[in-house]
């Protein structure tokens, strides 16, 4: 009977959900010390058939024949501000408030809040991957040798002379790409300050994530034991029927 399969499919979907949660939590913990990293959360929905009724003559492998089970809707990124850490490095920039820096990558322009920049051999301001940082008019920023000073609006001065203005962009329809980069519809940001000699830290709370890790691990163990128990009972039932 199809009904015999329902507990296994429902419990199995719950166990797989816990595995996905463990992956997301582990990734958050691994990036606790990654500058400007934004923690992720799983968005989960409940899927169920109308009135909880089975569909006659439907295979138990058909999801529509299961009563209720969790389904991952999406991964949500938390964009809360991380704490600011002073480094005294003149090429470490941090955004306080809204906004992202723009960088030119082989895949096109991407956005980041990770501001541990440096100068390449040609004098261009680049990320640690070597991607060029862009100005407020999306041009590559080239900085001549000399004493570098950055004001709160992102204007870059060398030996007291204004040379460039780093672009700070507000994003809508944001999507995370990898650990550091984001895509979205960009427009100039307004509510921000750019700080020189600072880095924004990750917004991951390691204690909170460890608690979630323990809770999720225990939930996964419970689902595993329940599946084993249901499988043993079903095996005994099948033996009696034979």
Give the model's pLDDT for residue 230.
81
Give the model's pLDDT for residue 208.
94
The Cβ of residue 8 has, within 10 Å, a number of other Cβ atoms equal to: 16
**SS3 label, residue 115:** coil
Please write the tens of the pLDDT for every residue from 115-154.
999 999 999 999 999 999 999 999 999 999 999 999 999 9
The Cβ of residue 93 has, within 10 Å, a number of other Cβ atoms equal to: 26
pLDDT band of residue 226 (cuts 50, 70, 90) is confident
> H-type helices in the chain, by residue range?
6-30, 206-241
CA gap 133, 112 in Å, rounded = 10
Contact 185, 177 (CB under 8 A): no
Which residues 6+ apart lie within 8 Å of 8 measured at CB?
227, 230, 231, 234
The Cβ of residue 143 has, within 10 Å, a number of other Cβ atoms equal to: 18
Which residues 6+ apart lie within 8 Å of 120 measured at CB?
126, 130
pLDDT band of residue 1 (cuts 50, 70, 90) is very low
Q: How far is CA 134 from the centre of its chain?
A: 23
Please name the residue that has the structure tokens 């939930």. Answer: 219
pLDDT band of residue 92 (cuts 50, 70, 90) is very high
Give the model's pLDDT for residue 113.
96
CA gap 162, 171 in Å, rounded = 27
Give the model's pLDDT for residue 53.
53
Which residues 6+ apart lie within 8 Å of 240 measured at CB?
none
Task: Give the pair of three-digit tokens for residue 87.
Answer: 């480094």
Across the strands, what pairs with 70? 46
Contact 180, 31 (CB under 8 A): no
For 120-131, what is the HEC assignment?
CCCCEEECCCCC
Rounded to two decimals, the pTM is: 0.79
Please write the tens of the pLDDT for every residue from 34-85.
999 999 998 877 666 555 454 555 555 555 555 566 777 788 899 999 999 9
What is the 3-state composition of the chain as percent helix, strand, coil, each rounded to the nearest 5?
Answer: 30, 35, 35
Please write the tens of the pLDDT for every residue from 158-208.
999 999 999 999 999 999 998 789 999 999 999 999 999 999 999 999 999
The mean pLDDT value of the chain amounts to: 87
């Amino acid at each position: 009977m199809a009904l015999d399969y329902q507990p296994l499919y429902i419990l199995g979907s719950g166990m797989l959900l816990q595995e996905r949660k463990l992956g997301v939590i582990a990734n958050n913990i691994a990036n606790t010390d990654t500058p400007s990293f934004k923690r992720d959360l799983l968005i989960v929905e409940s899927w169920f058939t109308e009135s909880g009724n089975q569909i006659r003559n439907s295979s138990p492998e058909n999801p529509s024949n299961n009563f209720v089970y969790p389904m991952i809707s999406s991964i949500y990124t938390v964009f809360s501000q991380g704490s600011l850490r002073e480094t005294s490095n003149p090429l470490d920039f941090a955004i306080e408030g809204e906004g992202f820096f723009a960088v030119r990558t082989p895949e096109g322009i991407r956005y980041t809040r990770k501001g541990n920049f440096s100068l390449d051999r040609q004098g261009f301001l680049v990320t640690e991957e070597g991607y060029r940082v862009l100005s407020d008019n999306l041009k590559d920023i080239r900085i001549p040798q000399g004493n570098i000073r950055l004001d709160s609006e992102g204007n870059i001065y060398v030996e007291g002379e204004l040379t460039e203005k780093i672009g700070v962009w507000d994003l809508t329809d944001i999507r995370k790409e990898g650990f550091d980069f984001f895509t979205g519809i960009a427009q100039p940001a307004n509510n921000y300050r750019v700080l020189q000699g600072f880095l924004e830290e990750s917004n991951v709370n390691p204690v909170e994530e460890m608690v979630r890790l323990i809770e999720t691990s225990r939930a996964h163990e419970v689902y595993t034991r329940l599946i084993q128990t249901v499988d043993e009972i079903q095996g005994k039932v099948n033996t009696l029927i034979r």
